[in-house]
């Protein structure tokens, strides 16, 4: 049939299997998040950092595979980077302010 | 017939898949920054009231939060599978996966409803008398909890609507109405006739003269409803809907540990 929607994403060979594996990884990381929250790391900062680190890894999995960033043009990756860096600057500057009041 | 009309469809709508996707991503960035503002608010207050946040968070049901996390992650999987299935021309599997996604979204909202009801039943909601007697850190925690999970819940509902719409688009017999634009009608006015030609050049059906009385030409293309033939534009629509759904999932990935798992 006529197929006008050929994109980069059509080139990948992953298929259904890769999505199932990613999902399994996400579930495992959710388990780790819950388990890690029960561990007393003697530092609230460390606990938050660990939770955020795991959440970031999960996000990376979703964005990279489920949202097809892996198969997109460089432009998409750059746009994503600009958004992420903007957000990190916001958070960074906010805490630069809060921490030294 | 079908090859001719398809050519017109493709010509009139040079399907700019990349452009559509870029637009969707730009919208998603605004969503990220919308929630990002709230996350910054959360971060600052958690820094200031870490003990109060800890006390307040013990009231939340971590098991329900974890179940909802798994529900949303699973829905993210099924919507990704739905897109993959549609791309491979497996319409039936695509619809099933989409159906499971919508059921997961509904499950998430039902669990959320019970969580919120329990809290409200205990008198914990923004501005309640019980909450006003609590410490300011706890008040801030619950205000943020309701604001952020509430805004997220609205996104889940919108996502359900969008995915439901996609289910309809993919399930229905695809119909395309294509209008030839005014400039083209002007150019062919007078000396033109419109007819459907068979492969051997025979004119089929009525032949229409494009004269002064014709204002607009509309061509209605009806595709057969078989697994192999469907409106190809559904692919990018479903992909963009999926992107939205994944962002809703990603936001929850952060909300869950930040509200339910504070020690």
Q: Give pLDDT < 50 ranges for chain B.
A: 1-12
Residue A27 has pLDDT above 90, yes or no: yes
Nearest residue in chain B measured CA to CA from A73: B18
The 10s digit of each residue's pLDDT in B115-171 is: 999 999 999 999 888 888 989 999 999 999 999 999 999 999 999 999 999 999 888
| pLDDT score, position A39 | 80
Q: How many whole angstroms separate alpha carbon B164 and alpha carbon B244? A: 13
More confident residue, A93 or A42: A93
Q: pTM here?
A: 0.79
| pLDDT score, position B119 | 94
Q: How confident is the model at residue A41 (pLDDT cuts 50, 70, 90)?
A: confident
How many residues are listed for chain A in this entry? 101
The 10s digit of each residue's pLDDT in A6-23 is: 444 444 546 899 999 999
- Find the mean pLDDT for residues A68-74: 92
Per-chain mean pLDDT for chain A:
84
Rounded to 5°, the CA angle B224-B229-B231 comes to 95
| pLDDT score, position A11 | 47
Show which of residues 3-62 on chain A sit within 8 Å of chain B, judged by CB atoms.
Answer: 3-7, 9-10, 15-16, 19-20, 22-23, 26-27, 30, 33-34, 37-38, 40, 44, 47-48, 51-52, 54-55, 58-59, 62
Q: How far is A91 from chain B (nearest CA, A)?
A: 6
ipTM value, please give it. Answer: 0.85
| pLDDT score, position B177 | 63
Residue A96 has pLDDT above 90, yes or no: no
| pLDDT score, position B12 | 45
């Amino acid at each position: 049939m006529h197929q006008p929607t050929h994109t980069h994403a059509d080139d990948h060979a992953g298929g259904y299997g890769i999505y199932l594996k990613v999902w399994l990884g996400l579930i495992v990381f959710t388990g780790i998040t819950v388990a890690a929250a029960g561990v007393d790391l003697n530092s609230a900062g460390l606990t938050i950092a660990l939770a955020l680190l795991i959440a970031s890894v999960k996000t990376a999995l979703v964005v990279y595979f489920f949202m097809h960033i892996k198969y997109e043009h460089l432009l998409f990756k750059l746009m994503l980077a600009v958004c992420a860096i903007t957000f990190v600057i916001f958070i960074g500057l906010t805490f630069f302010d809060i921490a030294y009041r | 017939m079908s090859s001719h009309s398809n050519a017109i469809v493709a010509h009139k709508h040079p399907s700019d898949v990349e452009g559509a996707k870029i637009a969707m991503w730009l919208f998603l960035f605004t969503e990220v920054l919308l929630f990002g503002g709230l996350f910054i608010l959360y971060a600052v207050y958690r820094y200031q009231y870490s003990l109060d946040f800890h006390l307040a968070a013990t009231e939340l049901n971590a098991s329900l939060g974890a179940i909802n996390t798994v529900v949303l992650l699973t829905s993210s999987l099924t919507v990704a599978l739905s897109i993959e299935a549609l791309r491979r021309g497996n319409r039936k599997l695509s619809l099933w996966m989409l159906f499971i996604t919508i059921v997961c979204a509904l499950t998430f909202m039902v669990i959320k409803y019970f969580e919120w009801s329990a809290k409200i039943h205990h008198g914990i909601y923004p501005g309640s008398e019980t909450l006003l007697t609590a410490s300011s850190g706890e008040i801030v925690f619950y205000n943020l909890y309701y604001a952020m999970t509430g805004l997220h819940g609205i996104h889940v509902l919108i996502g359900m609507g969008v995915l439901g719409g996609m289910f309809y688009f993919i399930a229905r017999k695809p119909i395309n109405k294509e209008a030839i634009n005014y400039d083209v009608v002007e150019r062919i006015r007078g000396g033109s006739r419109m007819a459907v030609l068979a492969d051997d050049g025979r004119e089929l059906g009525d032949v229409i003269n494009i004269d002064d009385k014709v204002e607009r030409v509309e061509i209605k293309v009806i595709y057969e409803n078989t697994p192999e033939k469907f409106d190809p534009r559904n692919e990018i629509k479903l992909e963009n809907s999926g992107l939205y759904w994944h962002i809703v999932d990603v936001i929850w990935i952060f909300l869950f540990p930040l509200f339910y798992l504070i020690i």
